[in-house]
Structure 1
Amino acid sequence: MPQPPAANLLAAEKSPYLLQHAHNPVHWRPWGEAALAAAREQDRPLFISIGYSACHWCHVMERESFEDAEVAAALNAQFICVKVDREERPDVDAVFMTACQMTTGRGGWPLTVFATPDGEPFFTATYLPPRTVPGRPGRPGLVEMATHIGRLWREDRATLAKAAAQVAEHLAGYFAGAAKGGALPGAQVPEEAARELALRYDQRFGGFGPGPKFPAPHVPAFLLAEARRSGQPAPRDMALHTLSAMRLGGMFDQVGLGFFRYSTDEKWLLPHFEKMLCDQAGLALACLDAFAATGAPLFARSAEETCDYVTRVLTAPGGAFHSAEDADSPDGQGGHGEGAHYVWTTAEIMALLGPDDGAFVTTRFGMQAGGNYRDEATGQPTGANILHLRGPLPAAEDARWERIRPRLLAAREARPRPAMDTKILADWNGRMIAALARTARLLDRPDLLEAAGRAADFVLTAMVRPDGGLWHSWCAGQAAVPGTADDYAALVGALLELYAADHDPDRLARALELQRRMDQDFWDPATPGAAQGETQAAAETPGMGKEHGAPAATGARQPGAPDAGAAPTGSGYFLTAGQAPGLPARPKEVYDGAHPSANSLALDNLLTLGRLTGDPAHTRRAEALLAAFSGNLAENPSAHAHFLCGLLRWLAPGPDVVVVGTPGSPDTAALLAAIRTQAPPDTLVLLKNPADTRLDALAPFTQDMAAQGGKATAYICRDQTCAPPATDPARLPF
């Protein structure tokens, strides 16, 4: 029996993704100063491969290339080979992904980078086959690429060094000019963003653009907020159609609950089957917004079921949440297949459920005898089916389905499960804590609030550094990687949602502490630059060419006139607290891609903290963010959907309420319940316990507020105008 290859240096790592590659014949090293030092000492370029454990094509490239002896020999002989878990090192990924987008016009994972020993990239690509495929000159094979670059390094290093210096210069310029400042933006920016999204809107299937379609839950969340502001139905309709299509389609696991990563087709039918914690959080929050806008049970149920999936499957010992489930799983035929755990044949359903229930499921959930699941590469039917609905089930049929679903789930659980990425990430946990806390508050699910509290307690103990800062990742008993701006912003948001749900002043105090640390370590005090062309002249690897042409530059439009006074100077938050060794730039992320940027999350947090505490410093910093990225918004409004949610809150903030009363008493509970059902969106609530002075220090403006007539009392203010104190839950002045 052949022996497995000896372990490489990844065997000592904790990341499940890195451990997946620990027995590759490639001599992998983890990213760090040791790898960079080895490259300098041995005078070799770096070969950097970046991916994540739930990435299907990362697994494909591993099987095809990194387990191939010829590929490994070509890499090992000429390069220091570095493997990066993008979720563990988002800073490394951000810099090299930006380089890839600059030089090729596209990006994605697996990400492939060749760089100098100092980390300056000179060639980037995504997936590469092991060998060049005849007839496809634009995608060289990894063996040929490694051989070519190795020869250039030996014989024409000056050319590679020039290309690397160009890319490094463009990266530094791009991140230095990431904030394109201007006047404080006004309502014309969200109006233009809604128009842009309407042009891309798929009126038939929902979503924006052709397949593949990504959920980007902050986009429907923005459209719902813009519909509230403008009173126009079109943004609301686009958001509701898109969220409904995702929930009813193959993007949602109809049997086991929770959302898959994205849809490979335009119909939201054929997903990539990984399930990621951050997606569950964002989609649960967006569904709650849709429920608030419509009262439709489908959206409340979608949020609850998504949270139930997370608490049932992704909860780690200690209460925090694992980061993802893999797309691939054993297929029962000695191999692995994407989605093998989730798909069904009609014969399986009929054998398990019998003719009556079997016919009900196969008919209602769109199953076909020949299968509705087509192979992504060939487009051919596989014989398997993805359960999906054309519309919500009527009440009687839904009750029948809920009696059947546990039987299907039990049968499916007997199959081999996809691998779990057991990393605990501070930012993704923060987003999920926020989703759980808001779902608990709006849908009366105290069990979800308990789950949110346990996760927060874990992160804020196990993932705090000795100096009080955060760690980014925790796995197998070990915390690693200093926290990023994403971590701080997500956890501040989580604590604010927890405070909204349980009104524990310690939650608010901790949020303020983390916000101060974020301001101290990540804020860029520089004046925002004028808009620069985002497309730089891409360096080209001699003899091989670029994969694709770079995208065309976008001309800037003038930002709108300010709606308020000038904001303080600053250029937003960097992703990292300093420039990491081996990276040619300190990244700063502005646009909202698959998930909101740290700057977008921070805008929301600062606006909330300013209103809850009465401290104008938080509001001024929020306005500094708005001014810093005003030019970015003008250039491409719809690329900043979550940031625009914050802008809409700034333009038209909701009411601020202070309830003075004893927590848990019937009169206090009645007031809080009435506020929850009567108050408009973006209402913020402080609970002042007359017997507890903690809130006095956090929100000094509440010190003189007292209960009236011995009853719990609500002080309701909006637009700097306060109504008389109210004690009757039926007569709150909203």
Structure 2
Amino acid sequence: MKKVLFFIIITIATLSCKQKPKEVTHEHTNALIHETSPYLLQHAHNPVNWEAWHPDVLERAKKEDKLLLISIGYAACHWCHVMEKECFEDAEVAEVMNKNFVNIKIDREERPDVDQIYMDAIQMISGQGGWPLNIVALPDGRPFWGATYVPKDNWIKSLEQLAELYKKDKPRVTQYAADLANGLHAINLVENDKDSDLYSLDQLDVAIQNWTQYFDTFLGGHKRAPKFMMPNNWDFLLHYATAVDKPEIMEFVDTTLTRMAYGGVYDHVGGGFSRYAVDTKWHVPHFEKMLYDNGQLTSLYAKAYAATKNELYKNVVEETINFVQEEFLDRSGGFYSSLDADSLDENAELVEGAYYVWTKKELSGLLGDDFELFQEYFNINSYGYWEEENYVLIRDKSDEEVADKFNITIPELKTTITESLAKLKGEREKRPKPRLDDKILTSWNGLMLKGLVDAYRYLGEEDYLNLALKNAEFIEREMIKSDGSLYRNHKEGKSTINGFLEDYATVIDAYFSLYEATFDEKWLDLAKNLLEYSKKHFWDETSGMFFYTSDEDQSLIRRTIEVDDNVISSSNSIMAINLYKFHKLYPEESYGNMSEQMLKNVQKDFDRRAQGFANWLHLVLFQNQDFYEIAILGEDYKNLGQQISKEYVPNSILVGSQKEGNLELLKNRGNPNKTLVYVCIEGACKLPVTKVEEALKQL
């Protein structure tokens, strides 16, 4: 899109900024005081007249012919806090904003539908994006200017110029906004490709080969900094490596998962993963901890444990679930959203990572005689050094290497390290904790529920199933409405926002998995009901894809169609896999055709950028290789189901019942005298067997 003269270039500041703790003051109170989002409530006492995103607010802006200033962030966002301190708490800034704009604050985690559109806009305007995301738009919501973090003086100057421009040259501003809106529509178009053949295994091999040029085979992940965990990337490559016997890919996946678990992005003291690493060796994280990362990584490491029996992966699963239980579990059974990167240091200043880092002096004093071993194990040296005398714990050696160096046994090493970490945890709990975002989001809970089910499935720990059931019941009780639709958000008994496709897709996936783990058809029925609701209210016949927003919600600049797999897999890719699996149980429905068409619509992009469509690529393997329906009937169906579940067989689904059930796979196959296992492909079954080993041989 051609640039216009009035576009104001803002240089995003990169200087770090220490933030003093915010004093509680009620000198100012704005409309955000009525919201439940912790991020919005953080701004409820700004002198800026903030309002939440709501149709009434937009209508008022149109009537008053007043520009919208839309500022988007989230509770764990470091630079969001910095800009609030420097700008939004400042009376001079507030005067300019209140005079010239209708000011709207948005929690991007509550309203990803709005965030998606304006993030696309700023990337079209400036070529880059991030949060805080600040957009100036016409009263009808069409954007024409944007920036991320902006220092106070530049912010005031920019806003004054924009307001003046709108008064003096409204047609020019309106034309630019119209051009930008057209561009936002154009980049979101998906062609309904009915003519192409399905992507082949040979094509997939070439796409993965192209992808390998980005592999960091020494440190894992991609050759770049910062490094994001990208669970769907390694989840697919684990599937691919085992499905087509690619030991070199499996070695890369193993390297990546090991290095991530060794790195500072993993909290060795308290369990769980931070958001990403700012360096190439997974060392120094951006210290915020998100539920969606930890839910997906729980699934990934559980699957990797099933495939490799690597005890490190099992430990990661156990410790991550412990962290989630301790920090994120609400008494209702729902899970909170995140922990902030910032916390108060010894000088009562908000500093990123203050809760998690250690000085050598602290460690030596706490650990005494065990410090020498701990120092070697976690690199309290130049390799593990961060800044300002602080160390971030990071491993780069196996237990065997360290034990050999100290001439001790592996059990002795583990005992010492476990006791040392327990001491550090006790000491750390005396520190001020990072701020908690205690809103509950449906899709993130869906991801965590799936993680718990996978952990139960592959590790066999009953507590994980109990925790999963408690969460599943919370979603059923609090997030599913009487009309079968979903809420997006929940806090203190209150839900206010309709669910998006991401919410439906992840909960359907999690409930389907919960059915496979329990054989309780209640969860399958709930999943199918949500799938049918999605078909009715999100499906777009023209594109052959699902919209991100329901047809019952307010129309924005566009109805987004989300297809790229990012840190969270795209809602359409999750839904396409859901449809594929439901087709195996309900072949008379249209699910299979819908899933296949969705895959055809996006497959043209796989050659160029396979890693951006990693979750979709599971479907390529499903479509090109045998996919098994495993049906178990008889008295011992649960026991046999649990045994089969422990095996890593991603190209399968599992159904079971004591007696012949409602599902087609469970009809006319029972035997009153024995428990039978059927291995089927598209409903055609091999001869039944009575032992797990025999069934696995048929796969």
Question: What TM-score comes out, normalization by structure 1 length?
Answer: 0.87
1:348 is displaced (CA, Å) by 1.2
Query: Which residue of 314, 339, 363 corresponds with 1:325?
Result: 339
1:94 is displaced (CA, Å) by 0.9
**Distance verdict in 2 for CA 1:262–1:513, change over 3 Å:** same
1:494 is displaced (CA, Å) by 0.6
Give deviations 1:638-661, integer Å, cap 9, x for gaps: 210111123222222432211111
1:677 is displaced (CA, Å) by 4.9
**Distance verdict in 2 for CA 1:600–1:96, change over 3 Å:** same
**Structure 2 Cα separation of the partners of residues 582 and 705 of structure 1:** 49
What is the SS of the residue equivalent to 1:501? Answer: helix
- Higher mean C-alpha displacement, 199-208 vs 486-495: 199-208
What is the SS of the residue equivalent to 1:112? Answer: strand
Letter in 2 for 1:151: E
**Structure 1 Cα separation of the partners of residues 453 and 167 of structure 2:** 58
Q: Structure 2 regions of 5+ residues with no counterpart?
A: 1-22, 401-409
Letter in 1 for 2:440: I
Give deviations 1:547-579, integer Å, cap 9, x for gaps: xxxxxxxxxxxxxxxxxxxxxxx2x11100138
Query: Which residue of 389, 394, 399 corresponds with 1:388?
Result: 394
Query: Which residue of 448, 452, 468 corresponds with 1:432?
Result: 448
Letter in 1 for 2:527: A
Give deviations 1:387-438, integer Å, cap 9, x for gaps: 1111332433223212222221111111111111111111010011011011
- Higher mean C-alpha displacement, 400-409 vs 53-62: 400-409
Query: Which residue of 142, 160, 164 corresponds with 1:151?
Result: 164
Decide whether the 8 Å contact of 2:569 with 2:615 is kept in 1. yes
Letter in 1 for 2:430: A
**Structure 1 Cα separation of the partners of residues 71 and 289 of structure 2:** 22
Decide whether the 8 Å contact of 1:180 with 1:630 is kept in 2. no
**Structure 2 Cα separation of the partners of residues 180 and 104 of structure 1:** 32
1:309 matches 2:323: yes
Decide whether the 8 Å contact of 2:378 with 2:384 is kept in 1. no
Letter in 2 for 1:295: K
Letter in 2 for 1:103: I
1:82 is displaced (CA, Å) by 0.6
**Structure 2 Cα separation of the partners of residues 164 and 246 of structure 1:** 43
Matches within 5 A, 1:603-682: 603-662=576-635, 667-677=636-646, 680-682=649-651
Query: Which residue of 457, 462, 475 corresponds with 2:478?
Result: 462
Q: Which residue of 1 aligns with 2:668?
A: 704
- How many pairs are equivalent? 664
Letter in 1 for 2:119: M
**Distance verdict in 2 for CA 1:179–1:481, change over 3 Å:** farther
**Structure 2 Cα separation of the partners of residues 24 and 217 of structure 1:** 37
Q: Which residue of 2 aligns with 1:217?
A: 231
**Structure 1 Cα separation of the partners of residues 159 and 367 of structure 2:** 54
- Higher mean C-alpha displacement, 221-230 vs 471-480: 221-230
Matches within 5 A, 1:102-141: 102-131=124-153, 141=154
Which fold has the larger relative contact order, with Cα–Cα distance below 8 Å and residues 6 or more apart in sequence?
1
Decide whether the 8 Å contact of 1:8 with 1:22 is kept in 2. yes
**Distance verdict in 2 for CA 1:67–1:677, change over 3 Å:** closer
**Structure 2 Cα separation of the partners of residues 218 and 189 of structure 1:** 20
What is the SS of the residue equivalent to 1:219? Answer: helix
Query: Which residue of 460, 468, 480 corresponds with 1:444?
Result: 460
Give deviations 1:311-340, integer Å, cap 9, x for gaps: 222101211100111111111212101111
Q: Structure 1 regions of 5+ residues with no counterpart?
A: 132-140, 374-380, 529-569
Decide whether the 8 Å contact of 2:637 with 2:656 is kept in 1. no
Decide whether the 8 Å contact of 2:632 with 2:655 is kept in 1. yes
**Structure 1 Cα separation of the partners of residues 122 and 24 of structure 2:** 38
1:687 matches 2:659: no
Give deviations 1:26-59, integer Å, cap 9, x for gaps: 1111111122123223221111110110111111
Matches within 5 A, 1:229-628: 229-354=243-368, 356-368=369-381, 372-373=385-386, 381-394=387-400, 395-396=410-411, 397-526=413-542, 528=543, 570=544, 572-578=545-551, 581=554, 583-628=556-601
1:98 matches 2:120: yes
1:165 is displaced (CA, Å) by 0.4
**Distance verdict in 2 for CA 1:681–1:346, change over 3 Å:** same
**Distance verdict in 2 for CA 1:157–1:249, change over 3 Å:** same
Q: Which residue of 1 aligns with 2:35?
A: 13
What is the SS of the residue equivalent to 1:176? Answer: coil
**Structure 2 Cα separation of the partners of residues 488 and 400 of structure 1:** 45
1:146 is displaced (CA, Å) by 0.4
**Distance verdict in 2 for CA 1:180–1:287, change over 3 Å:** farther
**Structure 2 Cα separation of the partners of residues 161 and 681 of structure 1:** 51
**Distance verdict in 2 for CA 1:147–1:460, change over 3 Å:** same
Aligned Cα RMSD in Å? 2.1
**Structure 1 Cα separation of the partners of residues 470 and 650 of structure 2:** 27
**Structure 1 Cα separation of the partners of residues 552 and 147 of structure 2:** 24
1:119 is displaced (CA, Å) by 0.2
1:108 is displaced (CA, Å) by 1.5
What is the SS of the residue equivalent to 2:343? Answer: strand
Decide whether the 8 Å contact of 1:178 with 1:590 is kept in 2. no
Give deviations 1:121-167, integer Å, cap 9, x for gaps: 00122222223xxxxxxxxx211210110110111111111110011
What is the SS of the residue equivalent to 2:632? Answer: strand
Question: What TM-score comes out, normalization by structure 2 length?
Answer: 0.91
